[in-house]
Structure 1
């Protein structure tokens, strides 16, 4: 029973360590990914900081860096919690193994004392010959043999338990060192976060000196974005209207065919086929998924929610989806702004058909339709696809352009005309 208990403890310990190691690996990968984003952002900020003119991209970049730094600290905290759980589990395992080793040593000591009392062959022979009959003598011989074998096994259990105990103590020492290193890393990140916040304060102080120029830049940006958003909405509206027109035409043809069949049946004096139900106007969703192909695309897009690839290989979200306040005035971003490297390739996040390619304010805009879902890629320097062409997932559709001193891709996901938050759809 003690052996079974010992093995059960080892099994639970190994299972817990395996599960924790998986989480630890995930957290480490997440932390490394955040660090790569911070480094990429730092390169862009170092480049733009050399310019005397303050831009909204600089402010967004600093805010994004602070947000990423906070996420990294949060990830380190999760790693520390995992380490604490491992330390607790390993400490309990060490105590259990120490208790197990103590019990095994006590039992072994008792067996050694017994063996000492019966150590010579004469005592063993007397023990056997003192039997009442042959059956009892045979049992005593088997007992002495089994006792000897069990003593050897007990010595093996002690050795194995001692080895496991030593291994667990080494693991415990390692996790304690890892926790110490994580605490130091957390302290360094907190210090860097403080520096980022100081730089944010300096930048905002600089903003007050350049307020007039900054306001003009913001007004110009809003004007341009309003024009681009109107063009995007118009293109999507035309696509929806065209889909509805095709659906209505298909319904009209079906109704005409049914009427012809009914007239023919009447002329031949036979029962007319059942009249089809009156066609109802298609909703946007129904119109955009009217064919099997578009229905499959739409379902595939939706099934990949949270797993869609990024529209660029490397980048950081420097302006999030939704409502923002700049210069005391609200504005809404229908997608996200992704700051990336110069000349970065822009990729389709899912297979679909290019709805339109436009150049607005000298920048390319590509709109791709995936059933009832639509993706928009804005601020491209050049475009490598054309209207009506089919694209595959991760296919390059163009190259991102520089906005000011940064390469920024503006990316949207819509369901019909309704904008969705891309962060809920692309992979973390």
Structure 2
């Protein structure tokens, strides 16, 4: 009986193992969903690339889009590799379970055969009657009858367990065959995607050759871009300097007013008149600006409100939304190779459709609205941090205005190459920061 219980429990475990394959299917579905999204991104990028090729001869933007396609295609292949690894693990586990089930089935058949041989040898009814009537007491006879019934039930359940195990084994073998077919199909997709990646790499190499062949024209384009970036950088730097000077003046002014109010209150107290009036003025001033200790080099953090906003901005690193709903990186922060030339960017340039709405990535105070080269730029202060948005049109903001995250501040204008793009710069009081390290991953 104990042996039967152990075998039955083993079959139960194998049944649970078969049911446990459902979560694995969900993981495959997630990988397939991710792969389909990557393919849609690639198609969108290809559409943008085709649009650029029709509207302009400029190929710097083409290079950026092709690099984006390459990056997305590599993610597709990585996704497929994850799927293959998952399938390999599933095949290994399935084969392992099949081997265990086969051993269990052999054991069940062997035990069932032994019980059948024993039953055949003791098939005479007289043997059963002799077994019962040879009992020493009535209670002993009842126990022997119960034992014979249990033994009969045991043989029946042995047969049922063999059938159940055979069914589980067939299902497992069928699943294994389906998994192997799936792996074969995924391997074919992997080979196809690898060919696409190779063709995209060749396309990139061709664009690089064209860039090298452009010579003087490319130099002019890069020089114009550098000149434009210099204007934007200088404007933002000037806005930061003005904000710091204004913060210093505001702090000094509030300190002067506080000293004057304190002196007046002291004078009123000494004369025994208008004591409450002086106290109210001090209270009013303390509500207007909460005094804080100003650290040298941190003049912008002169109020508790500014410190709070600054801390919130810092906490949102890697979480800030993008300024446009759809876009791709044309130029990264820092050094960018454009054919044989090098372009150093203080921020990032995001390519997108002309006229796309540009949104605030964080709330703050507008410190600059400026026009240059028929386009506009906006600079917003967030404590000691600043975000600059340039190459805009349709801006309807004023200096000193408070803006919220997600608020539309303008539209994307055409850049020097004739395509839609927005330049985003993030700075603090000391240096420019990499916006890609602050924006959330797409």
TM-score (norm 1): 0.81
Tell me by how many angstroms 1:129 deviates. Answer: 1.9
- Extract unaligned runs of 5+ from structure 2: 1-5, 273-290
- Residues 16-37 of structure 1: CA deviation (Å, up to 9, x unaligned): 863x556544543443333233
Partner of 1:316: 328
Q: Does 1:334 align with 2:346?
A: yes
SS in 1 for 2:441: coil
The yes-or-no answer on 1:129 pairing with 2:130 is no
Q: What are the within-5 Å matches in structure 2 for residues 240-319 of structure 1?
A: 240-247=244-251, 249=253, 280-282=293-295, 287-288=300-301, 290-292=303-305, 294-319=306-331
Structure 1 residues 413 and 158, CA gap change in structure 2 (3 angstroms): farther
* Structure 1 counterpart of 2:186: 182
Aligned residue number for residue 46 of structure 2:
42
Residue deviations 1:108-150 (CA, integer Å, cap 9, x gap): 3334444444556554333222222233222222222333444
**Separation in 2, partners of 1:251, 1:120:** 115
Long gaps (5+) in structure 1: 269-277
Give distance in 2, aligned partners of 1:289 and 1:104: 82
Which residue does the alignment assign to 1:379? 391
Are 2:344 and 1:344 aligned?
A: no
Say yes or no: does 1:102 pair with 2:106. yes
Match of 1:360 in 2: 372
Query: Are the counterparts in 2 of residues 91 and 172 from structure 1 also a CA contact under 8 Å?
Result: yes
Query: Cα RMSD (Å) of the superposition?
Result: 3.6
1:227 to 228, 231, 240: 231
CA distance in 2, matches of 1:298, 1:412: 17
Q: 2 CA distance for matches of 1:9 and 1:137?
A: 39
2:72 is aligned to 68
CA deviation after TM superposition for structure 1 residue 298, in Å: 4.0
Conserved 8 A contact 2:354-2:420: yes
Structure 2 CA distance for partners of 1:389 and 1:183, relative to 1, 3 Å: farther
Segment of structure 1 superposing worse, 331-340 or 222-231: 331-340
- Describe the SS at the equivalent of 1:96: helix
Offset from partner CA, 1:259-303 (integer Å, 9 cap, x none):
7888899999xxxxxxxxx975335668448324x4554444444
Would the aligned equivalents of 2:222 and 2:343 in 1 still touch at CA under 8 Å? no
SS in 1 for 2:171: helix
Conservation of the 8 A alpha-carbon contact between 1:44 and 1:406: no
Displacement of 1:221 in angstroms is 1.0
Tell me the secondary structure at the aligned position of residue 383 of structure 1. coil
Q: Which residue in the other structure is 2:196 paired with?
A: 192
Whether 2:426 is the aligned partner of 1:413: answer yes
2 CA distance for matches of 1:69 and 1:242? 50
Deviates more, 1:205-214 or 1:26-35: 26-35
For these two proteins, the number of residue pairs brought into alignment is: 417
Report how far residue 356 of structure 1 moved: 3.4
Shift of 1:215: 0.9
Check conservation: 1:322, 1:334, Cα contact below 8 A: yes
Q: CA deviation at 1:56?
A: 1.9
Task: Pick one of 27, 32, 35 that aligns with 1:31.
Answer: 35
Separation (CA, whole Å) in 2 of partners of 1:248 and 1:166: 85
Q: Is the 8 Å Cα contact of residues 94 and 169 (structure 1) preserved in structure 2? A: yes
- Partners of 1:41 and 1:135 in 2: how far apart? 87
Q: Distance in 2 between matches of 1:322 and 1:10?
A: 58
Superimposed CA distance per residue, residues 318-337 of structure 1 (whole angstroms, 9 cap, x where no aligned partner): 33232123365543223333
SS of 1:401's equivalent in the other structure is: strand
Q: Which residue of 1 aligns with 2:441?
A: 427
Q: Distance in 2 between matches of 1:200 and 1:290?
A: 51
**Is 1:84 equivalent to 2:88 in the alignment?**
yes
1:233, 1:417 within 8 Å by CA — same for their partners in 2?
Answer: no
* Residue number in structure 1 paired with 2:215: 211
Cα displacement string for residues 365-412 of structure 1 (whole angstroms, at most 9, x for unaligned residues): 233344444433332232355444444443333222233343223233
Secondary structure of residue in 1 paired with 2:432? strand
CA distance in 2, matches of 1:384, 1:105: 84
2:276 maps to which residue?
none
Shift of 1:58: 2.0
Higher CA-based Rg? 2
Structure 2 residue matching 1:331: 3-state secondary structure: strand
